Amino acid sequence: MKYTIIKTREQYHAYCNKLEELAVSGSADEDILDEIDLITLLIEKWDEENTNFKAMDPVILLQSLMKDHSLKSKDLADILHVSPSVVSEILHYRKAFSKQVIRGLAEHFKLREEAFSKPYKMIGPIKKPTKKAVS
């Protein structure tokens, strides 16, 4: 048997890497698509049993996923098709996750959209100093 239930973090990362490799290949071969579905199910099962996404702040979850997958803000911006400033604002609690960003994150990390759509406290935008009129 090629795949088994994930039992270790190393195996989890290996399956995530394999899933990404298969997804990037863009193959429409039925066997490859079945393999993608199977690996996705195994990863989701591991995630459900080994992470507490239900209670996790979506921004902290994203930061953790970025660390686990060695992603920088620019990488995430490219994945989500948004500007790096949007990613920065999200990571610094100045901008909420848009529906587009939630969908992109869920698809990329193979998680349910609910993991990123929970309410969390924002700190608001940075106010820029205003120029005083010179008399």
C-alpha 42/C-alpha 14 separation (Å) is 12
The answer to pTM > 0.85 is: no
The answer to whether 123 and 114 are in contact (CB under 8 A) is no
Q: Which of 22, 46, 17 is nearest to 34 (CA)?
A: 22
pLDDT digits (tens, 9 = 90+) for 17-32: 898 888 888 778 888 8
pLDDT digits (tens, 9 = 90+) for 70-126: 999 999 999 999 999 999 999 999 999 999 999 999 999 888 888 888 888 888 665
The answer to whether 73 and 87 are in contact (CB under 8 A) is yes
Q: Where in the chain is the domain with CATH 1.10.260.40?
A: 53-120
Looking at the domain 53-120, which fold is it?
Answer: 434 Repressor (Amino-terminal Domain) (1.10.260)
C-alpha 119/C-alpha 122 separation (Å) is 9
Question: Which of residues 110 and 127 earns the better pLDDT score?
Answer: 110
